Amino acid sequence: MTRAGKNSRGVVERSLASFVDALEHAFYAEELAKKNGLLQKLDPRVKIVAILPLIVIAALARRLWVIAVLFALAVAIALLSSVPLGTLARRVWLGVLTFTGFISFPALFLTPGPAISSLPLLGWTVTAQGLRAAIYLIMRAETAATFSVLLVLCTPWSNVLKALRVLRLPVVLVVVLGMTYRYIFLLLRNAHDMFTSRKSRIVGRLDGPEQRRAATASVGVLMSKTIQLSGDVYLAMRSRGFQGEVYVLDEFRTNWFDWAMLALFITVAFLAFWFGR
Amino acid sequence: MTVPIFEVRDVTYSYREVTALDGLNLTIMPGQRIVLLGANGSGKSTLLSMLDGLCFPEKGSVAFQGEPLAEDRLIGEVEFAFRRRVALVFQNPDVQLFNPTVFDEVAFGPLQLHWPKEQVRLRVSEILEQMEIGNLKDRSPHHLSTGEKKRVALASVLILDPEVLLLDEPTAALDPKSESQMIDFLVSCSGGRKTVVTATHDLDLVEDVADYCHIFRRGRIVAAGTPTEILNDHALLLNTNLVHAHRHAHAPGELHSHPHRHGHRH
């Protein structure tokens, strides 16, 4: 078997794994959104209005202790919302640390300033300013990402989309996003079934060009099915009275708890903004 | 004289080179429960789409309560009035369930027809309880089983309380329990003044949901009769691919075949 063949097979298998992972992740998120925690109790619109400023302030704050307090607040909210810290560590903190660590690594050595250490063997010197810049970048990214993920994990995606209307997004855009979310799973499942079905009928291994031809054909079939589906969905909408303008229900209702929590979050955001200037 | 709900005259329709309906004639009277029986590709689904005003004849005509059902007439208020009275349940529930949650899905039709929002909320809750799917209201359609999807699809049109219910393979791909529940729902909602047109190749469904059957073959109606007349005509069923010859042995070496259908009735 050629090296190209091995690589192509790896791509197909990785694609399959990522399809399944995407589905499992979506199921897990919806299970978390049903739990009886702090964020889950809040009106989705309140959650968006309360958490978005915290994300922005975490990204802009100039004092490390303010970012650290915001990060601690995010962890506390996660615990009060029944979000396992292990899940956050695996899905957010580790990934963000790897990504931002990779980006900020050169800054450790290239930022001018007094040297505080040096790498063994290579002899590259780490500067105080470089270390400070890297820590800022990582902490800001970790905190902002934690708040963002909490918002998504503790709210059914459909409600997140509807709540975006509070930010004056047009109804048609919210509906299109909702339908995209709805059908992406169907298409993922179709793609998964197609790959599995082909894999079950292949004896031996295909070489690189054969793999690429098969993958291209699958993409073509999937595209064709998608076009057919979109036409059928339009007919189903038309059948129930759709004439080009969508009317939707806005079923959210706020109570005193929502307003109290909104006031608390806004106060925290204001204090973080004030002390983090 | 009673005006037919639908009158289909010499209708022809094709998908490029494939003819789906070929000079079809059919009259459906108010309150009738009709089954369109035919093998896959015989033109049943195309006819249902046409009766729902989603596609239009290349030749011939379709009339709804004496008025032509044509593309240039089915616009604006005329279309709203038609959609309030005629509803189609698609064969593939994934096509029909395009909203993020079950509640939104069932509310979609009434909202497009400009019902007051409070009335929509109330009716959606009622119909979900009536269909025994109240526990699914916040679920996404992709989290539902096929049986649940079919019930949600049915609820999404029954909420409009249409005079005419068009059903495309309502029991396809259901497990036996879901199929039995679906038939119970269809029987319970098809009484009274509703006209129900069901397209299927499931012979076990026929006696429960139909007073009269039309047999389709290659875009034409080749036979019609009561469920008893049709189900007892084995030659007709075999000829239209609704049953198949099943070989089996009654004694060692005595292999023979005769028309055979699957399913169990109690």
With CB atoms and an 8 Å threshold, state whether A158 touches B117: no
pLDDT of residue B171: 85
- Residue whose pair of structure tokens reads 């990785």 in the numeric block: A14
pLDDT over 90 for what percent of chain B?
50
Confidence of residue B255 (pLDDT cuts 50, 70, 90): low
**Best to test chain A binding among B94, B144, B158 (most A CBs inside 10 Å):** B94
DSSP A91: I
pLDDT of residue A1: 41
Q: Distance of CA A65 to CAs A62, A140, B116, Å?
A: 9, 11, 52
For A123, phi and psi rounded to 5 degrees?
Answer: 75, 10
Give tens-digit pLDDT for B8-51: 999 999 988 889 999 999 999 998 999 999 888 889 999 999 99
pLDDT of residue A54: 92
Mean pLDDT within A217-229:
85
pLDDT of residue A3: 45
Q: Distance of CA A62 to CAs A133, A144, A276, B89, B266, Å?
A: 11, 14, 5, 58, 76
Q: What is the ipTM of this complex?
A: 0.86
pTM of the model: 0.73
With CB atoms and an 8 Å threshold, state whether B95 touches A183: no
Q: In the predicted model, is pLDDT for residue A8 greater than 70?
A: no
State how far the Cα of A29 lies from the Cα of A84, in Å rounded to an integer: 12
Cβ(A59)–Cβ(A140) below 8 Å: yes
pLDDT of residue A170: 82
State how far the Cα of B124 lies from the Cα of A157, in Å rounded to an integer: 21
Give tens-digit pLDDT for A48-62: 889 999 999 998 888
Q: Which residues contact B186 (CB under 8 A, 6 or more apart)?
A: B167, B170, B196, B198, B208, B209
Q: Distance of CA B23 to CAs B53, B56, B60, Å?
A: 18, 13, 8
For A170, phi and psi rounded to 5 degrees?
Answer: -60, 145
State how far the Cα of B60 lies from the Cα of A50, in Å rounded to an integer: 61
Confidence of residue A13 (pLDDT cuts 50, 70, 90): low
With CB atoms and an 8 Å threshold, state whether B143 touches A235: no
Pair of tokens at residue B8: 């289909």
Chain B, nearest residue to A28 by Cα: B143
Mean pLDDT within A173-194:
80
Chain A, nearest residue to B92 by Cα: A232
- Residue whose pair of structure tokens reads 């529930």 in the numeric block: B93
Confidence of residue A2 (pLDDT cuts 50, 70, 90): very low
Reference B136, options B120, B112, B153; nearest CA is B153
Mean pLDDT within A90-103:
87
Confidence of residue B260 (pLDDT cuts 50, 70, 90): low
* Dihedral sign from CA coordinates of B127, B129, B132, B134: positive
Most confidently predicted of A105-114, A158-167, B93-102, B201-210: B93-102
Question: 3-class SS at A37?
Answer: coil
User: Between B83, B98, B142, which is nearest A185 by CB?
Assistant: B142
Give tens-digit pLDDT for A247-266: 877 667 788 988 999 999 99
pLDDT of residue A167: 72
B46 CB neighbours in chain A (<8 A) are: none
More confident residue, B40 or B189: B40
**Best to test chain B binding among A34, A189, A239 (most B CBs inside 10 Å):** A239
For chain A, say whether B46 makes contact (Cβ under 8 Å).
Answer: no
With CB atoms and an 8 Å threshold, state whether B101 touches A241: no
Cβ(A64)–Cβ(A276) below 8 Å: no
Average pLDDT, chain B: 86
Reference A140, options A254, A61, A236; nearest CA is A61
Q: In the predicted model, is pLDDT for residue A208 greater than 80?
A: no
With CB atoms and an 8 Å threshold, state whether A182 touches B143: no
Q: In the predicted model, is pLDDT for residue B207 greater than 80?
A: yes
pLDDT of residue A5: 45
State how far the Cα of A67 lies from the Cα of A272, in Å rounded to an integer: 8
For chain A, say whether B90 makes contact (Cβ under 8 Å).
Answer: yes
Q: Which of A59-63, A190-194, B94-98 shows the lowest per-residue confidence on average (mean pLDDT)?
A: A190-194
Q: Which of A29-38, A84-93, A158-167 shows the lowest per-residue confidence on average (mean pLDDT)?
A: A158-167
Cβ(B178)–Cβ(B199) below 8 Å: no
Pair of tokens at residue A261: 């929590």
Q: In the predicted model, is pLDDT for residue B244 greater than 90?
A: no
Mean pLDDT within B150-157:
92
B90 CB neighbours in chain A (<8 A) are: 232, 236, 239
Q: Distance of CA B264 to CAs A107, B176, B229, B257, Å?
A: 74, 10, 19, 20
Chain B, nearest residue to A230 by Cα: B95
**Which of the following CATH numbers is that of domain B6-260: 2.40.40.20, 1.10.10.10, 3.30.450.40, 3.40.50.300?**
3.40.50.300
Reference B212, options B231, B194, B239; nearest CA is B231
User: Between B52, B97, B142, which is nearest A239 by CB?
Assistant: B52
Mean pLDDT within B128-147:
87
* Three-state SS letters, chain B: CCCCCEEEEEEEEEECCEEEEEEEEEEECCCCEEEEECCCCCCHHHHHHHHCCCCCCCEEEEEECCEECCCCCCCHHHHHHHHHHEEEECCCHHHHCCCCCHHHHHHHHHHHCCCCHHHHHHHHHHHHHHCCCHHHCCCCHHHCCHHHHHHHHHHHHHCCCCCEEEEECCCCCCCHHHHHHHHHHHHHHCCCCCEEEEEECCHHHHHHHCCEEEEEECCEEEEEECHHHHHCCHHHHHHCCCCEEEEEECCCCCEEEEEECCCCCC
Chain A, nearest residue to B83 by Cα: A241
Mean pLDDT within A186-204:
79
How far, in whole angstroms, is CA B2 from its chain's centroid?
A: 24
Domain map (residue ranges) of chain A: 37-156+251-275
State how far the Cα of A92 lies from the Cα of A32, in Å rounded to an integer: 16
For B31, phi and psi rounded to 5 degrees?
Answer: 80, -5
Confidence of residue A160 (pLDDT cuts 50, 70, 90): confident
For chain A, say whether B92 makes contact (Cβ under 8 Å).
Answer: yes
pLDDT of residue A14: 66
Mean pLDDT within B94-112:
90
State how far the Cα of A77 lies from the Cα of A63, in Å rounded to an integer: 21
A249 CB neighbours in chain B (<8 A) are: 103-104, 107, 111, 117, 120-121
Q: Which contacts (CB < 8 Å, 24+ apart) does range A57-62 have?
A: A57/A269, A57/A272, A57/A273, A57/A276, A58/A140, A58/A143, A58/A144, A58/A147, A58/A272, A59/A140, A59/A144, A60/A276, A61/A140, A61/A272, A61/A273, A61/A276, A62/A276, A62/A277
State how far the Cα of A139 lies from the Cα of A100, in Å rounded to an integer: 9
Amino acid at A45: R
Pair of tokens at residue A19: 């399809």
